[in-house]
Amino acid sequence: MPDTIGNLTVDVRILVLGDKGVGKTSLIMALVEDAFCEEVPARVERVLIPPDVTPERVVTAIVDYSSRTQDEKALIKEIENSNVICLVYSVDDEKTVERISEYWLKLIQSTLGSDHERPIILVGNKSDKTGSADNMDKVLPIMNEFIEIETCVECSAKTMKNISEIFYYAQKAVVYPIKPLYNAEDKELTPKCRKALVHIFKLSDFDNDGLLSDQELNEFQTRCFDMPLTDVAIEEVKRAVIAVNPKGVLDDCLTLDGFLHLHQLFIQRGRHETTWAILKRFGYDQNLRLRENYLYPTIRIPTGSSVELSQDGIQFLLSLFTKFDEDKDGCLSQSEMTSLFSVCPTMPWTAEQLNSVETTSVGWITLRGYMALWTMNSFLNVTQTMEHLAYLGFNLAFRNQLAALKITRDRRIDIQEKSTTRKVFQCHVIGSKDAGKTVFCRSFVGKNLLVS
């Protein structure tokens, strides 16, 4: 049974582990009571924190483990059920630091597997004690050896130093995990993260010049965070990028490489929630895939009705054609078409479909041919149309792809009233072999059998 508060399911389950006497229970009590407690029980019962008192608006459970009241079987179960583990040591007790790597981290690995992805927060308690400063030198090698450790926070239940920060970092490790974004061993973005950010960069590059101008950066910032950047902030961003990658800025604009390095900087500086906020705004889930409901919003098509492009859908698709028709010749070459659909996992049309609409003599699709294919796809395969519209960025200007579509009324009403507002009709051409059906159809797009 999942943890609940009323009808709310727990989003983050924090397990607090460590040797006896390091102050695990004192830390939890200090958070709950907002004061240091001189006397604490051997173990605190599970603490549930509602979403309205946490920065990340998540339901959080904090679980205390005590070897005095629980056995190893219970410990293993708690490790398996956790989302994040706070591993506590005492900064004034060197033995508890050694036990972090010698016992606790090895136990967690043996329980979850050596390549597990459960985030670990190291917590150095009792930092108010004298002579505690040297322990960080002993902790750093442990952090380098065990890449599952997200961060280390020194705190004091007695002075209330960093108490709320510990549990904030624990929540953050679950809500905004680093591992899908960043490979700590290689010190670079993961392939999935890089691919998603390239997609986002291309959608934000409105003039298709491979750069983000100050205006495009501002529109990007407003889209993600509902506020523009100041001129000073934009210059600071560019200076930070140039410091790590001189080629990250070209002609006073941010390059793709610079955009990727900027996010690498966010993550390395512990600001990965910024990257996650951007990814989520562009429809990505925790696995760095576009969400199902982002790709395929629910659409209901009554019996007798059909789907056509709305005016908003038509305008969006026309703007894409204009954006990628780089030489402004009124058609899309193969390279221009490839560039347009580079943000999609697949091309929406087969070679046969491309050959069924108006093209130039060398096979480049014209604007009329391009719109004809989108019209046909919306009519025959609306699911595929919605998927491609999502990848192409329609959802950034509209709530979802339903704004790009319109449902026609039941054709039986059209027959009754002897009028229709439909613009798309499906017509079957039937005839015997060699009657000229193909020639007849191809003549509508100015083609004959010799044109392939």
pLDDT band at 37 (very low <50, low <70, confident <90, very high): confident
pLDDT band at 439 (very low <50, low <70, confident <90, very high): confident
**Cβ-contact 425, 411 below 8 angstroms:** no
How many other C-beta atoms can be found within 10 angstroms of the C-beta atom of residue 210?
12
Is the pLDDT at 270 greater than 70? The verdict is yes
Query: Beta-carbon neighbour count of residue 385 at 10 Å?
Result: 25
- Name which of 149-163, 341-355, 383-397, 428-442 the model is least confident about: 428-442
Map residue 51 onto helix, strand or coil: helix
Measure the CA angle with vertex 404, ends 202 and 289; round to 5°: 45
Report the distance separating Cα 181 and Cα 193, nearest Å: 5
**Pairing relationship of beta strands 182-183 and 188-189 according to DSSP bridges:** antiparallel
Task: Decide: 182 and 190 in contact? Cβ < 8 Å.
Answer: yes
Which percentage of the chain shows pLDDT scores above 70? 96
What is the distance, to the nearest Å, from the Cα of residue 291 to the centroid of all Cα atoms in its chain? 9
Which of 34, 5, 28 minimizes the C-alpha distance to 16? 28
Residue-averaged pLDDT of the chain: 92
Residue 3's pLDDT is 62
| Terminal-to-terminal C-alpha distance of the chain | 62
Find how far residue 340's CA is from the centre of its chain: 22
Confidence at residue 88, expressed as pLDDT on a 0 to 100 scale: 96
> Is 452's pLDDT higher than 60?
no
Mean local confidence (pLDDT), 242-265: 96
Structural tokens at position 72: 């190893």
Cα–chain center distance at 245: 25
Composition of the chain by helix, strand, coil, percent to 5: 45, 15, 40
Structure tokens at 321: 């054609």
Is the pLDDT at 1 greater than 50? The verdict is no
Residue whose tokens read 């965070």: 225
C-beta neighbour count of 311 within 10 angstroms? 10
Cα separation values, 149 from 179, 200, 366, 448, Å: 11, 29, 55, 67
Mean pLDDT for 165-181 is 93
For the ranges 249-253, 266-270, 371-375, which has the lowest average pLDDT?
266-270
Average pLDDT over residues 92-118: 93
Mean pLDDT of 392-415: 95
Query: Is the model's pLDDT at 113 over the cut of 80?
Result: yes
DSSP one-letter string for 70-85: --HHHHHHHHHH-SEE
Comparing CA positions, the residue from 264, 267, 284 lying closest to residue 203 is 284
Tell me, what's the pLDDT at 235? 96
Query: What's residue 303's pLDDT?
Result: 94
Residue 221: Cβ within 10 Å count: 18
Q: Per-residue pLDDT for 232 more than 80?
A: yes
Q: Over the stretch 57-68, which tens digit does the pLDDT of each residue have?
A: 889 999 999 888
**227: which 2 tokens?**
């506020």
Give Cα 275 to chain centroid, integer Å: 8
Backbone angles phi, psi at 188, to 5 degrees: -150, 165
Judge whether residue 12 has pLDDT over 50.
yes
In this predicted structure, what is the pLDDT of residue 450?
52
Residue 194 has φ and ψ, to the nearest 5°, of: -60, -45
How far is Cα 151 from Cα 170, in angstroms, rounded to an integer? 9
Q: Please state, in angstroms and rounded to a whole number, the distance separating the CA atoms of residues 394 and 382.
A: 15
Domains and CATH numbers, the chain: 4-175 (3.40.50.300), 188-289 (1.10.238.10), 301-445 (1.10.238.10)
pLDDT exceeds cutoff 80 at 112: yes
